[in-house]
Chain A
């Protein structure tokens, strides 16, 4: 899968926000707040094709967590991103 638009991850007052970027502008009318881990994952896959496995690998590598714990977090994040229409699945 891949992020549908170009996003910029911004830290505003200690909170991470995913702001969509189009052409020469940033759109703050619709932002998604992320926690620290989610921000790290999304930032790692900006403009890249990725799978859930890739995200799990990233988490395990960076935070040294058990694979099944990481898998749960990743599923939750991907679920949210899909629901909000921020990523698209490719065949």
Chain B
């Protein structure tokens, strides 16, 4: 089967439309900014329309970061690290010092489930938001940039082929 990538803007417009209709959406994760929890091209994310509880620390959200022109908007799936009224601070688990700031209105979805593939492609493990495995990835992974750097280096060493 052929693997193709759809332009981000088009894809997320489609996702937003489906979420508005009340559908959940399964998509493949891209990028390394949520390592070690979410792995590029391997893991699958389940997105749902954000609820009141989505805007809390520790939740994973899909945000559309508005830039000068709509076609330049960035889409990120990162963790909420700070909430201040309408403003949210997001940071990818795999990022050291980069934070994104957005408003609640820019949050398109919450990630409610991460389906992690095993070493053999047939083995999958579904990790739901709030489960103990989910919380393990949230609480055992350090927040301090230096510790993260060490953690990521270890992760890469252990996962080298």
Contact = CB atoms under 8 A, between A and B. Distances in A.
A84 B1 CA distance: 8
Given A26-B26, A28-B26, A12 B1 contact: no
Contact of B26 (A12, A25, A33, A84): A25
A39 B100 CA distance: 40
B25 A12 contact: no
Contacts of B7: 13
Contacts of B26: 25-29
Contacts of A29: 26-28, 44
B25 A28 contact: yes
Interface residues of B, number: 18
Contacts of A21: 23
Q: By DSSP majority rule, is chain A's interface helix, strand, loop, or mixed?
A: strand
Contacts of B73: none
B71 to A, nearest CB: 12
A10 interface: yes
Q: Which of B4, B10, B14 has the most CB of A within 10 A?
A: B14
B24 interface: yes
A28 B23 CA distance: 12
Nearest to B13: A12
Nearest to A32: B1
Contacts of A35: none
B18 interface: yes
Given A12-B11, A12-B14, A13-B10, A25 B4 contact: no
A24 interface: yes
B90 to A, nearest CB: 22
Given A12-B6, A28-B27, A30-B1, 10 more contacts: A10-B14, A12-B10, A13-B6, A13-B7, A21-B23, A25-B23, A25-B26, A28-B11, A28-B25, A28-B26
Interface of A: 10, 12-13, 21, 24-30, 33, 84
5 contacts: A12-B10, A13-B7, A28-B27, A29-B27, A30-B1
Interface of B: 1, 4, 6-7, 10-11, 14-15, 18, 22-28, 44, 46
For the complex of A and B, the 8 pairs showing the least CB-CB separation, nearest first, are A25-B24, A13-B10, A27-B26, A28-B27, A29-B28, A12-B14, A29-B44, A26-B23
